[in-house]
Homo-oligomer: A and B are copies of this chain.
């Protein structure tokens, strides 16, 4: 296999995907070559289509194929609820649960002094301007339960002040969770937030 070979070039590119290395990239490419018609060609076409059409929603930061995403376009989702998430993967996770019918705001990361990420890097100004223009009554902070996520949540709650009701996802024992496998922090949070049975 010489290095100017298109197969070698494809392996090099595949090895740059998250979660893949040189070995798994070779395995994937061999699989693709074996299934040229059924998988490689459709995948090449799908990538071409996404490369041509994918863009970030100018309003919320979701990815989609138009300047304003389907969720921001939908009048049915103008419920006055706005769910703030760190990134698009979190938005997709919320959408899979199917329980939230409002709109989203994707921050694009978390505040981080170490990495030099400040409020203006995180679409926080856009978040503030949406409160009035979309008649938001409640902002739900659905940030990850990590140090950075919670720091960002506190910052946003402070910034929005009394202008709007700010809530966050409940913390506690996950459904199907076994106490023996949970960390101390989760058990502490669940105990502190205990409720009448």
Contact = CB atoms under 8 A, between A and B. Distances in A.
Interface of A: 1-2, 5-7, 9-10, 13-14, 16-20, 24, 26-33, 36, 39-44, 46-51, 53-54, 63-65, 70, 87-89, 92, 95
Number of copies: 2
B47 A51 contact: no
A19 B18 contact: no
Query: Considering residues A2, A29, A32, A44, which has the most beta carbons from chain B within 10 angstroms of its beta carbon?
Result: A44
A7 B54 contact: yes
Contacts of A41: 51
A20 B64 CA distance: 22
Contacts of A28: 17-20
A14 to B, nearest CB: 7
Question: Nearest 7 CB-CB pairs, A to B?
Answer: A44-B47, A6-B49, A10-B46, A44-B48, A40-B51, A41-B51, A13-B43
Contacts of A32: 17, 47, 50
A43 B14 contact: yes
Given A6-B53, A36-B54, A65-B6, A27 B19 contact: yes
Contacts of A95: 1
5 contacts: A7-B50, A10-B46, A13-B46, A19-B20, A32-B50
A106 to B, nearest CB: 11
Contacts of A46: 6, 9-10, 13
B6 A18 contact: no
